[in-house]
Structure 1
């Protein structure tokens, strides 16, 4: 795969990630059903992809002896997606995406508190930028209101994604990324299955088609393309592309659902997305900054 094709594939994967909120908003089924079926369908799609690539054995490589940690990761993924879909259901796709995009702030704080890792100046600046952006993006900080509750759930989605990221940072030393995501998706779906099954008879036929699209395209295919492009694309380019997920999602929500954003919210979105770019810059305080 050429670098140009890899870049196009990378942005296509990020676009599919961004469209997940749009599909979740258009489905009438409860968020627990959406999350459960997205996880299970995505796991099956990724498992089929690994099997097709003759890499099915990787699903079990490195998992043995780490079942408890994998269960924690699957549980975090379930909460992350469930709260995300709840946020967009109570609020808007844009609000859900932008509050979830607060995860760099949580990663910085968690690294400092839990792992005692030194936090560089640029990380604090990025965290501060996220805070400013959230202050502008969230229209109502009264968590008793519907919009306020949606914002709170979006922040929980960002927090659980940050925890999952830190956990997977340790797990990828022993497990390949794509099999790791596949197993965690399967766990997430199975964890939610007892809550979702009683509501399956009420899922409309049109919802099944959207959920299939969400699980296969926006989850399974998107993760496969994203992971494959990492072999060719530079890390900095990957970070830039990944930070555009809220932008793609907001544009899709505007074009398809007619969701509008105030000028203040757009400025806040620029701060939140800009924090991802800021986190990639070398810290001038570092003695040996890496390019």
Structure 2
């Protein structure tokens, strides 16, 4: 059993992250603007922490710089697709689509670690896809909600890559990896600067500040630590708290209706993902 303090770190990170869908959906800023703003704030704050002990950067070896660059690039595309999914669909549906990362991780484990995918795990993947299908109004990419779910699934796949990438770079400290993730992601976003729109209201800028400090510096910093040090079974299950929290906040702040179809779809995804996570954990112990 991992330390209770580490589980609390993961839960705190998820509670902070759950504000993201509502803030992204409600702000007038577009996906590129949100990404650049969050990363400038996050990379700036973490760079200050790193600057206190510059030897941490000098100690990074060449292959570890490459690992950080890959982590940052994957993180950047994950964010861009996630923000697009929220804007195209709804906050709840986008949050639910990305939650399929738990079963998508199975494909990554098979690809990178040659872990076999059993029948029960294939059923869990189908159940997650079925949960997404339940929520879409029509099976056509011309519908923005359907397109948003597809983009959310891509974002979820990239999100599933991140714990594996961080674990392979575990020789670096949490601060080094967090700094690398934000800094290299910012470098990936900067070429998109011409697409950003900074003609925003004070409320929009306050929302961007909240996204940068609370939902990025605090939440992702804590999640990097938790997802690296906790067994996957714990981070997998803890992450699904994200969906009901996003549903509640979307209902309160965005007046987004919690329909029976949304509850059914979310329930299928959470249930299948949780059961397959427990199944793999039990199988590994056996």
User: What TM-score do the two structures reach when normalised by structure 1?
Assistant: 0.83
Cα pair 2:39 2:185 within 8 Å, conserved: yes
Question: Among 154, 157, 180, which residue is 2:155 paired with?
Answer: 157
2:196 maps to 1:199: yes
Unaligned runs of 5+ in 1: none
* Counterpart Cα distance in 1 of 2:202 and 2:42: 19
RMSD of aligned alpha carbons: 3.0
Question: Among 251, 254, 258, which residue is 1:254 paired with?
Answer: 251
The structure-2 alpha-carbon separation of the partners of 1:232 and 1:150, relative to structure 1 and needing over 3 Å to count, comes to closer
Alpha-carbon distance, 1:257 to partner: 0.6
* Counterpart Cα distance in 2 of 1:234 and 1:252: 29
2:273 maps to 1:271: no
Q: Give the equivalent residue in structure 1 for 2:216.
A: 219
- Secondary structure of 2:18's aligned partner: helix
Q: Give the equivalent residue in structure 2 for 1:87.
A: 85
Which runs of at least 4 in structure 1 moved beyond 6 Å after TM superposition? 229-235
* Counterpart Cα distance in 1 of 2:103 and 2:281: 20
* Counterpart Cα distance in 1 of 2:7 and 2:110: 33
User: What TM-score do the two structures reach when normalised by structure 2?
Assistant: 0.85
* Counterpart Cα distance in 1 of 2:159 and 2:4: 29
Number of aligned residue pairs: give it.
Answer: 284
Q: Residues 224-280 of structure 1, C-alpha deviation per residue, up to 9 Å, x if partnerless?
A: 344566799886554432221122111111111111132122011011112332133
Q: Give the equivalent residue in structure 2 for 1:184.
A: 181
Unaligned runs of 5+ in 2: none
Cα pair 1:22 1:253 within 8 Å, conserved: yes
Q: Give the equivalent residue in structure 2 for 1:75.
A: 73
Alpha-carbon distance, 1:112 to partner: 2.3
Q: Residues 187-245 of structure 1, C-alpha deviation per residue, up to 9 Å, x if partnerless?
A: 11122123226635423332222111101101111133445667998865544322211
Alpha-carbon distance, 1:47 to partner: 3.8
**What does residue range 83-122 of structure 1 map to in structure 2 within 5 Å?**
83-113=81-111, 115-122=113-120
Question: Among 105, 119, 126, which residue is 1:128 paired with?
Answer: 126
**What does residue range 42-81 of structure 1 map to in structure 2 within 5 Å?**
42-48=42-48, 57-59=55-57, 61-62=59-60, 64-81=62-79
